[in-house]
Amino acid sequence: MKPKLRLLSLIAVSPRGDGEPELLWSYPYPDLGLQAVSADGRYAWIGVDLVDLEEGELVHVRERNSLDSFAFSPDGEWWLYTYQTVSREGGTHVVYRLAVRPAGTPEEEEQVLLEGKRGAIILGWSHANLVGILLVSREDPAVELLRLVPVER
């Protein structure tokens, strides 16, 4: 049996109903789904990466690692995400990271905020710069609130 493909399309429409709908981006991949759009309307988070809605291109947040979770800052100026890497120091083990960087900047601009042996899922980022994080572990799962301090870009 052939796998079924869905067409994911991001279409801009006027809330007033005037004008024609505009196709911003389309991709035939079954596991993608629109989850969030940046405050400025430039980027859409589709569950695995971003779509640059101005260019109509897929944007990889990180080239080498898949993301566990992602959030736009409320003002759209920052990207916050979690991912995992493999460390070979003192034996092989997985290292989980929570990182932030200015929206649209290269991966080298990333600032790692948390690093450890427990996975983290971003629950949300509030206008008061509070971030809800679910720390995942079999023995001791926890929800934490982090306050991110704004810095000058």
Distance CA 53, CA 41 (A): 7
- Does a structural domain hold residue 126? yes
Dihedral of CA 118/107/44/130: which sign?
positive
CATH classification of the domain holding 39: 2.130.10.120
CA 47, CA 34: separation in Å to the nearest integer? 7
In a domain, 46, yes or no: yes
The angle subtended at Cα 100 by Cα 98 and Cα 105, nearest 5°, is 140
- Residues of the chain above pLDDT 70, percent: 88
- 3-class state of residue 131 by DSSP: strand
- Read off the pLDDT of each residue in 59-74 and give the average, rounded to a whole number: 89
Query: Residue 152 falls within a domain, yes or no?
Result: no
Q: What is the DSSP letter of 105?
A: -
Q: Tell me the pTM.
A: 0.77
Cα dist from 31 to 4, 57, 130, whole Å: 11, 17, 30
- 54: containing domain: 7-147
Contact 113, 125 (CB under 8 A): no
Give the pLDDT of residue 29: 63
> Is 57 part of any domain?
yes
1 lies in some domain:
no
Number of domains in the chain: 1
The more confident residue out of 128 and 23 is: 128
**Mean pLDDT, the chain, whole residue set:** 82
Model pLDDT for residues 70-112, shown as the tens digit of each residue: 999 999 899 999 999 888 877 788 889 999 999 999 999 999 9
Q: What is the pLDDT of residue 134?
A: 87
- Residue 7 in this model has a pLDDT that exceeds 80: no
